[in-house]
Amino acid sequence: MEKSVHTPDYRALRDELQKTRTVSGLSQRDLAMRLGTPHSWVAKVENGERRIDLVEFCWFVAACGQDPNAVFRELLRQRPTLAAFSAKGRSK
């Protein structure tokens, strides 16, 4: 299995995070301030230099004033390969 950070699915995740931030009207600096992190952390997550885990995903999205479940559902809608993979896991 290849590293997820090198896949179109991970790119879609990064795009969705950036879209969530911008739709919320936040700059990278604004979001970083809300998260208590350097603005470079937000930039590195969005450009793929830093990997984000599930807990950080929830913090990131919630700091944008959005529901992590809704953002994740949107990502699954956009990326059928992720949705299909998660469906396979449920059928075991």
What digits encode the pLDDT tens for the residues 42-51?
A: 999 999 999 9
Quote the CA–CA distance of 80 and 83 in Å, as a whole number: 5
CATH number at residue 80: 1.10.260.40
- Can you give the residue range of the structural domain that contains 74? 25-90
The residue among 87, 86, 79 whose CA lies nearest residue 7 is 79
pLDDT tens-place string over residues 62-86: 999 999 999 999 999 988 777 776 5
Q: What does DSSP assign to residue 50?
A: S
The pTM for the full model equals 0.86
Quote the CA–CA distance of 57 and 70 in Å, as a whole number: 12
**Reduced to 3 states, what is the DSSP secondary structure of residue 24?**
coil
Domain presence at residue 16: no
Domain presence at residue 68: yes
Of the CA atoms within 13 Å of residue 83, those in its CB half-sphere come to: 10
